[in-house]
Structure 1
Amino acid sequence: MIRKKNIPVRSLPEECFQRIVVERISSDFFENDKGLNISHRHDYHIFVLQEKGTIHAEVDFEAYVNSEPGIMYQSPGQVHRALKAEDANVYMLAIYSDNINANYLAMLQYLTPLKPLTIDTTDLSVLKQAFDLCVNFFNQKKHTLYLTMLKDSCNAVVGLIISRYLRESKSLDLLSRFERVTKAFFSSLEEYFWTIKRPAQYAQKLNISIAYLNECVKNETGFSVSYHIQQRIILEAKRLLYHSEKSIKEISLALGYDDYAYFSRVFKKSTGVTAIGFRNGNRE
């Protein structure tokens, strides 16, 4: 595997003024774009409808093999790579946050992270029709209402995919107070873990006491707020150790630890191995 100083972040080409790309691709696409099998992030959201074939992928150290029609969502922060595609037909929507309906963005934050989900023939048919409409609008750049139609049709696809995932998740209306607080904490953690390390600061952001925040989170997950903060930091450290050539000191600083010796102790206590031991032990 090729590793770079930083984990590569892929952006849409500058000529994509609409900040949306939607297309139907085959296995050849995966073979021709060699950058796809190098671990990377996007600075946009990816929504995928797999119509047929088999796709091998890796997302945050977890391997996936999808051989059934299904959907997949990847958030901008996730580190992933496509390993192989066999006889695959796939629809893919790449879209920046500013083009996604605000309510849908909030739902994605509530649901993330999401794993690939198999769908039935009815859902496949509806999603194919919606994606085909998006692809059609995407290719009609001279239309007077091009951007409006493209954005609206793509948000229909986003809504359909979110709706399908929501069927597998408990409705927000049915969540207990403990569950709501815990969901809010994890959303806040995802946004601020780089700079905020103390549980009290998260409680302050949620306008509740630290005792109540801990009670909610521990009741729902079995672990304290401090534990989850540490685990989120460790996940990012693992990403950087495995997928980049940053030094331990550089990773420590990036994650908000000026004392990299202290960061190293935190990493070893959490994982059972040193940071350099994790890097060396997982290199191919």
Structure 2
Amino acid sequence: MSKKASTIPVQSLTKEFDEGIAVGRMSSGNFRSADEARHSHRHDFHIFILQLKGSSFYEVDFEKRQLNRSAILYIHPNQVHRFDNVKNADFYLLAISNDNLNAAYLKLLDEITPARSLVLPGAELAVFIQAISLCITLFERKDNKLRLPLLRDSCNTFVGLFVSQYTRQLKPAEGTSRFEEITRAFKLSLDKHFIQYKRPSDYAGILNISAAYLNECVRNVTGFPVSYHIQQRVIMEAKRLLYHSGKSVKEIADELGYDDYPYFSRLFTKVTGMTALTFRNKNRD
């Protein structure tokens, strides 16, 4: 049994990318030498991988994913992931921090997470390649006095293209209902406050609506009540900590805002169908 870290590792951009942006073209060989990428971790930045050929295998929050050519994989800073296998792949990679992202794009990225891979039609692929090629050109022009704002703007163009194409494929442009707007706002609030707030009424208060109306909106859009989403978000974080850290179940319960350790244990069993220790032992390397 391999020794687990005391918490989930968080990788930052190296000092050479202290501006909070890294962009380039890579191949399978680059990943074979990046052993740290094969171990589960988080980043404190956003990752976009535009694959041109070959196949890549990833694990993102316990879900196995395969990325094939002409597709983009997006990984949010909250997501625990590792790169499992990269075969004969050729791809572009963009890493960008929150500070460099357009506020509107950052909000939309939060909303679509967890995102599936985005498959690009031929015409769209050409546009994305042009956009990220410009990013690389500006990234390499170290002596340009306006390099950083130009680089930031070009990277945001790529991100904006991704969000636009993703939301277009996700749902045809037909307007957003009030129920969908409230559900989206609830999910964003949940991701920020799930440790602090555990009751539907807490989120209804944040959104200045009644708990009954919030529940009606969320159930109508997702098919599940507010309490279900709160529990799922908490348990996902618990799974991450159980699998990727060496913290005890009691320490994890405390970290997630549960003073009542037995209640947390019962909740975990109810949601997953197994005890926290059983989950940990089952998923140990």
If the TM-score is normalised by the length of the shorter chain, which range does it land in?
A: over 0.9
Shift of 1:15: 3.4
With structure 1 as the length reference, what TM-score do the two structures score? Answer: 0.96
Q: Shift of the alpha carbon at 1:272? A: 1.5
Unaligned runs of 5+ in 1: none
- Partner residue, 1:156: 157
Aligned residue type for 2:93 = M
* CA–CA distance in structure 2, aligned partners of residues 145 and 262 of structure 1: 56
Q: Distance in 1 between matches of 2:81 and 2:268?
A: 22
Deviation of 1:3 (Å): 3.1
2:218 and 2:270 map into 1 onto residues whose CA distance is 22
1:113 aligns with 2:128: no
- Please, what is the CA RMSD of the aligned residues? 1.4
1:263 is matched with 264
Partner of 2:177: 176
- List gaps (5 residues or longer) in structure 2: none
Q: Is the 8 A contact 1:51 1:124 kept in 2?
A: no
Q: How far apart, in 1, do the equivalents of 2:154 and 2:69 lie?
A: 25
Structure 2 residue 35 is matched with structure 1 residue 28: no
Shift of 1:13: 1.5
Deviation at 1:222, TM superposition (A): 2.2
1:201 and 2:199 are equivalent in the alignment = no
Structure 1 match to 2:228: 227
Question: Which residue is 1:11 aligned to?
Answer: 12
In the TM superposition, 1:127-138 aligns within 5 A as 127-138=128-139
Per-residue Cα deviation, 1:129-171 (whole angstroms, up to 9, x for no partner): 1111111111111111111111111111111111110211236
Shift of 1:17: 2.6
User: Which residue of structure 2 aligns with residue 90 of structure 1?
Assistant: 91
Asked if 1 retains the 8 angstrom alpha-carbon contact of 2:67 and 2:73, the reply is no
Read off the aligned partner of 1:42 and give its amino acid letter. H
Equivalent residues in 2 for 1:205-284, closer than 5 Å: 205-284=206-285
Cα deviation for residue 283 of structure 1 reads 1.8
Contact 1:59–1:78, Cα closer than 8 Å, also in 2: yes
The size of the alignment, in residue pairs, is: 284
Cα distance, 1:194 vs structure 2: 1.6
Shift of 1:92: 0.8
| 1:44/1:76 contact within 8 Å kept | yes
User: Residue 259 of structure 1: CA displacement?
Assistant: 2.3
Give the distance between the partners of 2:282 and 2:137, measured in 1 at CA.
48
Partner of 1:99: 100
Shift of 1:127: 1.0
Question: Deviation digits for residues 14-71 of structure 1, max 9, x if unmatched?
Answer: 3323111111111011111101010111111111111111101111111012223201
The C-alpha deviation readout for 1:52-106, integer Å capped at 9, x for no partner, is 1110111111101222320111111001100011111111111111111111112
**Equivalent in the alignment of 2:57:** 56
**Could you tell me whether the CA contact under 8 Å between 1:2 and 1:38 is conserved in 2?**
no
